């Protein structure tokens, strides 16, 4: 840790481990997997259900990581493709999830209703509340 530095605090959540592993590899060290090890996270399962706000944190960290390790030009080029693709994906997800929700109401599938409605809400919140900021500020 003295050689490569500690966790980069510019990452609030997401990609801090990827950044650390890349710095370890650049320092000529190996990353190994120990399947028998167990780590218990006592937090709130940060990515089990990625809400719109958590997705913004994920994307912000992704762009911090890319700028740090690939440079501003590569990050800008990636952004030109990635950001519109995310918006298009959310629009399509909104349409398909809403269609699934309507279908599940018609066939009385309560479990599918709940899941598809959560997806509708997540995409709708992202598109209405965060898409402008995502496209132009992150």
Assess contact for 62 and 110: CB atoms under 8 A: no
- The H or E element containing residue 109 is none
pLDDT tens for residues 90-103?
A: 999 999 999 999 99
Q: Does residue 6 lie within any of the structural domains?
A: no
pLDDT at 39: 82
Q: Does residue 25 lie within any of the structural domains?
A: no
Q: Does residue 3 lie within any of the structural domains?
A: no
Q: Does residue 38 lie within any of the structural domains?
A: no
Residue 51 pLDDT class (50, 70, 90 cuts) = confident
Q: Residue 56 belongs to what domain range?
A: 50-136
**Among 126, 89, 121, 97, which residue's Cα sits nearest to residue 105?**
97
Number of folded domains that form the chain = 1
Q: Does residue 64 lie within any of the structural domains?
A: yes
């Amino acid at each position: 840790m003295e050689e490569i530095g500690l966790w980069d605090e510019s990452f609030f959540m997401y990609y801090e481990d990827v950044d650390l592993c890349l710095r370890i590899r650049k320092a000529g060290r190996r990353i190994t997997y120990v399947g028998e090890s167990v780590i218990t996270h006592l937090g709130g399962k940060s990515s089990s259900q990625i809400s719109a706000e958590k997705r913004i944190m994920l994307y912000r960290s992704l762009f911090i990581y890319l700028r740090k390790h690939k440079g501003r030009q590569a990050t800008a080029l990636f952004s030109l493709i990635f950001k519109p693709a995310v918006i298009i994906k959310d629009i399509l997800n909104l349409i398909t999830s809403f269609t699934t929700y309507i279908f599940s109401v018609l066939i009385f599938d309560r479990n599918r209703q709940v899941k598809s409605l959560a997806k509708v809400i997540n995409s709708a919140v992202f598109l209405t509340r965060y898409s402008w900021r995502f496209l132009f500020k992150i």
